[in-house]
């Protein structure tokens, strides 16, 4: 047996012994992003076992709590998890944003301090970038950090901060120099959300959920050792993190479009199919097939890109292509699903709708956010035009 097959066999046996059967076949409905303290029962056991194995961050180095797996081994692990429909044990901004950024740009002390708490699920993170007057024009941010010797004193506000209600730590872009070109006066700091100067105010979404907050800072302290990169060079660190964010949105590792746990073809067959499941309306049939083809080619392109990245290259401007296309496609898919449901797709609550119909409608509303979150579609198109196609903008 070659090494790959041996690894597959070991993974399969380990998952068989360790993945609680109650969690399988549940799609990704359970909150993979929530940290350990919000877990109970089998979801807690699953996270603890996977973390002890290093498989919450399979490709990270073992000394920081990762699994030290190669790209090929990680692909086998993911395939085996999918085979038994096991949920990923942990997701979130620690794993896909600040973790990879610290691995690349953090000091050894920062890596040792923060990464193991990410992989164990002990600490969850939120992203303090956007402000009321700094979204697409992020470099306009005004949250101020003053140098107080061994720490920075932070005052200002961030908005649309996903997961801030439960987050333990924030990675944050702050202004440390107001007298230079705006990109050159920004620093990248980390601080605990338990600081007494942090106030979180939830914002309600059109879907009815409240996934993000406006966060206010009144004399919040960030230790000097939690400055990532050099003082006033946070723009470079912040942009790098955005590339990690876009590649995870684009590759679906943040969970885009999948949490309803339904398949477009199934829905079309069930609601618009004849007795044999043939979709009767030729126009709809064409739209569904077109979407499936686009989706499969996009997945193939994403896998190719991710494979290239894992061979040493790191995500760059191509992440904007992934982010743009996947978020536009996700919206189209949920629009199509709601229109297939017809009247059954018009409910937010009520007994006349089944659970799946309500979930699809909610998802359609939630998906509106995807062409804005992580940088709007227009901004991605600007990046693609300027940085990839070299067009004058
Ligand atoms: C669900 C969700 C989660 C989010 N989570 C976070 C988070 O955790 N942390 C965080 O910091 N932020 C978060 N954001 C904020 C997000 O990054 C910003 O909303 C986004 O960058 C757009 O900024 P804005 O809302 O200020 O819109 P604006 O920048 O005011 O843009 C308004 C409109 O103008 C367009 N526009 C702006 N500039 C240009 C241009 N140069 N060319 C063409 N069109 C342009 C935009 O595309 C958009 O359509 C989240 C947003 C959403 C929706």
What pLDDT digit, counting tens, does each position of 326-373 carry?
999 999 999 999 999 999 999 888 899 998 899 899 889 888 888 999
Is 314 within the bounds of a domain?
A: yes
Same domain, 192 and 282: no
- 245 classed as catalytic: yes
Q: For residues 77 and 189, state if they share a domain.
A: no
Q: Please tell me the pTM assigned to this model.
A: 0.90
60 alpha carbon – ligand 1 mean position (Å) = 31
pLDDT at 259: 45
Shared domain for 221 and 258, answered yes or no, is: no
CATH number at residue 369: 1.20.140.10
The residue ranges of the chain whose pLDDT is under 50 are 28, 253-259
Q: Does residue 184 lie within any of the structural domains? A: yes
**Ligand 1 contact via 127 beta carbon (within 6 Å):** yes
User: What does the pLDDT read at residue 90?
Assistant: 92
Question: Which tens digit of pLDDT belongs to each residue from 154-170?
Answer: 999 999 999 999 999 99
- 181 and 301 assigned to the same domain: no
The reply to whether 118 falls in a domain is: no
Residue 203's domain comprises 125-233
Domain boundary among 37, 67, 90: 90
Residue 46 is part of a domain; what is its CATH number?
1.10.540.10
- Beta 151-162 vs 186-192: how paired, if at all? unpaired
Look at residue 10 and tell me if it is in a domain.
yes
Chain Cα centroid distance, residue 317: 17
Contact 371 CB / ligand 1 (< 6 Å): no
Ligand 1 centre from 141 Cα, in Å? 13
Place of tokens 């997961």: 163
- Total of domains in the chain: 3
> 180, 203, 233 — which closes off a domain?
233
Boundary residue ending a domain (173, 199, 233)? 233
Ligand 1: nearest atom to the Cα of 137: 29
């Amino acid at each position: 047996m070659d090494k790959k097959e041996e690894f597959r066999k070991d993974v399969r046996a380990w998952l068989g012994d360790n993945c609680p059967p109650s969690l399988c076949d549940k799609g990704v409905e359970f909150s993979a992003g929530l940290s350990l303290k919000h877990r109970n029962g089998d979801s807690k056991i699953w996270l603890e076992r996977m973390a002890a194995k290093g498989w919450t961050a399979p490709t990270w180095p073992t000394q920081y709590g990762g699994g030290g797996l190669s790209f090929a081994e990680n692909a086998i692990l993911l395939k085996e998890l999918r085979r038994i429909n096991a949920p990923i044990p942990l997701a979130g901004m620690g794993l896909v944003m600040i973790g990879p950024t610290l691995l690349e740009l953090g000091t050894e002390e920062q890596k040792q301090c923060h990464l193991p708490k990410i992989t164990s699920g002990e600490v969850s993170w939120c992203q303090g970038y956007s402000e009321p007057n700094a979204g697409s024009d992020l470099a306009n941010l005004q949250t101020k950090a003053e140098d107080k010797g061994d720490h920075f004193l932070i005052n200002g506000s961030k908005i649309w901060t996903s997961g801030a209600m439960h987050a333990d730590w924030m990675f944050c872009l702050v202004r440390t120099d107001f007298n230079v070109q705006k990109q050159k006066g920004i620093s990248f700091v980390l601080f605990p959300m338990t600081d007494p100067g942090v106030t979180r105010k939830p914002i309600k979404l059109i879907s009815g959920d409240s996934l993000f907050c406006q966060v206010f800072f009144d004399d919040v302290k960030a230790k000097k050792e939690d400055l990532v990169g050099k003082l006033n060079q946070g723009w470079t660190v912040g942009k790098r993190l955005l590339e990690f964010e876009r590649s995870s949105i684009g590759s679906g590792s943040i969970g885009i479009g999948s949490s309803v746990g339904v398949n477009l073809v199934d829905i079309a067959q069930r609601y618009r199919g004849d007795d044999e499941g043939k979709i009767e309306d030729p126009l709809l049939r064409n739209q569904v097939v077109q979407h499936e083809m686009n989706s499969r080619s996009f997945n193939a392109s994403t896998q190719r890109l991710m494979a290239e990245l894992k061979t040493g290259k790191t995500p760059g401007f191509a992440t904007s292509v992934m982010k743009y296309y996947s978020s536009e496609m996700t919206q189209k898919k949920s629009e199509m699903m709601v229109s297939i449901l017809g009247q059954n797709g018009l409910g937010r609550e009520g007994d006349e709708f089944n659970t799946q119909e309500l979930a699809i409608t909610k998802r359609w509303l939630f998906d509106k956010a995807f062409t804005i979150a992580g940088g709007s579609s227009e901004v991605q198109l600007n990046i693609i035009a300027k940085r990839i196609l070299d067009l004058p903008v």
